[in-house]
Amino acid sequence: MGKVLIAYYSRNGHTESMANYIAEGVRIKGCEAEVKPISEIKNEKDLEGYDAYIFGCPTYHRDMTANMKSFLFLAEKANLEGKPGGAFGSYTHSGDAPLEIYETMEYVFKMKVTSLGSFRMKEADIENNIKSCQDYGGVICEMIG
Ligand SMILES: Cc1cc2nc3c(=O)[nH]c(=O)nc-3n(C[C@H](O)[C@H](O)[C@H](O)COP(=O)(O)O)c2cc1C
């Protein structure tokens, strides 16, 4: 059974909700999912032992959050090359963060990012689009060989 890490930051809980729905989709497709705030990931060893990675954070000030930037520097040391990956986050109007994370996964970490691209959702729409979140997680599970 493939194991997927969903690592996220959420200030007000919306991105956290998305993380949990994405995890549901991972499990529906038969993979194991672990959902962790990035604050619990202390070093690159904490990223070992997973077959795929989904990272998420909301957009603040048209950017990913500072702690997500630090987390990505940590993840750089974990050698995620070739691993399936995706990125997500909640937003209200510009929603830049998921694509920024996704591009780091693709171009810097050289991960096998999902062809779905990054996944962002307006915070007001999340509870009415649970299935979209689940589907995104399901696709990442299916990418595990
Ligand atoms: C100070 C501040 C700045 C924000 N800047 C942006 C922004 O630039 N673009 C955007 O789409 N949303 C912006 N937002 C909205 C948040 O991304 C949105 O509320 C999101 O759902 C928060 O996710 P969270 O509950 O996981 O923290 C901003 C919110 C605050 C409070």
Ligand 1 and 138: CB distance under 6 A: no
In the chain, how many domains are there?
Answer: 1
Q: How far is the CA of 126 from the centre of ligand 1 (A)?
A: 14
Ligand 1 and 131: CB distance under 6 A: no
CATH number at residue 51: 3.40.50.360
Q: How far is the CA of 35 from the centre of ligand 1 (A)?
A: 21
Using CA atoms, how far residue 122 sits from 62, 73, 88, 95, in Å, is 14, 27, 11, 8
Q: Residue 65 is part of which domain span?
A: 3-143
Q: Can you give the pTM of this predicted structure?
A: 0.98
pLDDT at 32: 98
pLDDT, mean of each 10-residue run, the chain (145 residues)? 97 98 98 98 98 98 98 98 98 98 98 98 98 98 94
DSSP structural state of residue 106:
I
